[in-house]
Amino acid sequence: MSDTIKAIRGMNDILPLDTPHWQHLERVVAGTLGAYGYDEVRLPLLERTELFSRSIGEVTDIVEKEMYTFSDRSGDSLTLRPEGTAGCVRAAIQNALVRGQQRLWYQGPMFRYERPQKGRYRQFHQIGAEVFGLTGPDVDAELILMTARMWRELGLGGLTLELNSLGSPEARRCYREELVTYMEAHEEQLDEDSRRRLIANPLRILDSKNPAMAELIAAAPRLLDHLDDESREHFDGLCARLDAAGVAYRLNPLLVRGLDYYSRTVFEWTSTELGAQGTVCAGGRYDGLVEQLGGRPVPAVGFAMGLERLVVLMRQAGTEPTHHIPHAYLVMVGEGVGVQGVALAEQWRDAVPGLRLTVHCGGGSFKSQLKKADASGARVALVMGEDELARREVAFKDLRGGAPQESVAVAAVAKRLRRLVTEGMTHPEVTEVSA
């Protein structure tokens, strides 16, 4: 075993026990995005390195130390996307989607060379949404209300919405000067990381998790107190909409985000159930980025959620998806039964929309096949032996409740299966279901 090849550190296989949760999450999120009028785009995993350095920012953790960058065979510097916004903006400019208004969403793996730990991986998955061409707080509110709806539909309570405004670039420049003056006056209290940030990216000092810095940061001047009038009005407009819709939030003046492209609204949804990596969804406005990447001056706002972290929360909440569990498992024993059985199974699949039917393959005794039927989680086993075949019947064996076995004429099986499908499924491990 010593020379077997293992997956790369921080890059995980998502295995059959987990995929039902992923599929449920993806279905709910994609369904909600569609219902709000968002259209899906599918974007390349690789982009030119310059796209990320010009958008995320040269002096950010992502660009400085977390990107998977390499030269391709023609010597071009390419990078595995560390996030989706930059590629989405690039695609929108290139394909003239930034004319008028666009509501877009995407999903897929992202890559960051971070130190792997619980909830932090080197390949992780996001679903993100980006809106182009709308300046007002109405669309910021829409994005947040839409995510709140997703959490409700996923059965995730206990998430906190943190909000801040980074103001206009000019307001931020003034604030930055004031912050640097304050921090320089307390330079002896700064840790090494913050000293470095003081020169390169002072706002990021506010994001420090070092407890020794907490007091200094708490007493620092606040960006929210330095907003320009328009940004203040925008922020008030957003808060008013969230208040009216009954979505609670916490103002967090220290929320600055780790990517440079934001202006005005920034937000994060956080959980206390995930340890150090508690942010499950984050985003904000980035009105300057489209122009910065060569497009027209088009306002934009968006978010991305981390699917690994949401799946952990879904599992902790105890929601067990059932969409992958077969309704029925076909057990076949005897001469010629397999040949007939497989043809009947195809007919039932034609006749019963949504039917999840597993057909036993590989032979074996009646007992061993029934064991497999039970392990599959199916509600019923459809049992066919030589006797049943001769009588043109199938036995329905209830695997979850105590209903007695029942013989059903082949001609009536589709009708019975249709009932099984429309009755819906309850997770077999959670609740006992009677037939």
- Both tokens of 236, joined, read 């008030």
- Both tokens of 237, joined, read 């407009």
Q: Which residue has the tokens 């003046």?
A: 253
Interface map 209-248 toward ligand HAM (x if CB under 6 A): ----------------------------------------
Contact 429, 320 (CB under 8 A): yes
Nearest CA-CA partner of 289 in 49, 92, 45: 92
Q: Does 416 help bind ligand HAM (rule: CB under 6 A)?
A: no
Least CB distance from residue 308 to ligand HAM, whole Å?
5
Q: Does 207 help bind ligand HAM (rule: CB under 6 A)?
A: no
Nearest CA-CA partner of 195 in 208, 176, 177: 208
Give the chain's radius of gyration (CA, Å).
28
Q: How far is C-alpha 317 from the geometric centre of its chain's CA atoms?
A: 16
Number of residues counted as binding ligand HAM (CB under 6 A): 27
- Both tokens of 28, joined, read 């709910």
The SS3 of residue 282 is: strand
Q: How far is residue 123's CA from residue 230's CA, in Å, rounded to a whole number?
A: 39
Q: Does 106 help bind ligand HAM (rule: CB under 6 A)?
A: no
Work out which of 12, 279, 340, 358 binds ligand HAM, going by CB under 6 A.
Answer: 279
Least CB distance from residue 423 to ligand HAM, whole Å?
37
* Span 291-320, contacts to ligand HAM by CB under 6 A: 302-306, 308-309
Q: How far is C-alpha 392 from the geometric centre of its chain's CA atoms?
A: 48
Q: Does 280 help bind ligand HAM (rule: CB under 6 A)?
A: yes
The per-residue DSSP string of 15-66 comes to -TTTHHHHHHHHHHHHHHHHHTT-EE----SEEEHHHHHHHT-TTSHIIIII
- Both tokens of 33, joined, read 């995005």
Work out which of 18, 114, 273, 291 binds ligand HAM, going by CB under 6 A.
Answer: 114
Q: How far is C-alpha 397 from the geometric centre of its chain's CA atoms?
A: 39
Least CB distance from residue 372 to ligand HAM, whole Å?
36
Least CB distance from residue 153 to ligand HAM, whole Å?
18
Q: How far is residue 184's CA from residue 187's CA, in Å, rounded to a whole number?
A: 5
Least CB distance from residue 150 to ligand HAM, whole Å?
13
Given the complex with ligand HAM, which of 220 and 282 has the nearer CB atom?
282
Q: At what angle do helices 137-154 and 307-317 cross, to 10 degrees?
A: 40
Q: Does 87 help bind ligand HAM (rule: CB under 6 A)?
A: no
Q: How far is residue 196's CA from residue 71's CA, in Å, rounded to a whole number?
A: 29
Kindly indicate which of the ranges 78-86, 92-100, 154-162, 210-218 contains the residues binding ligand HAM, using the contact rule CB under 6 A.
78-86
Give the residue closest to ligand HAM by C-beta: 306
Given the complex with ligand HAM, which of 161 and 333 has the nearer CB atom?
161
Work out which of 33, 52, 80, 130 binds ligand HAM, going by CB under 6 A.
Answer: 130
Q: Does 131 help bind ligand HAM (rule: CB under 6 A)?
A: no
* Span 247-266, contacts to ligand HAM by CB under 6 A: 258-259
The residues binding ligand HAM (CB under 6 A) are 83-85, 112, 114, 119-121, 124, 126, 128, 130, 258-259, 279-284, 302-306, 308-309
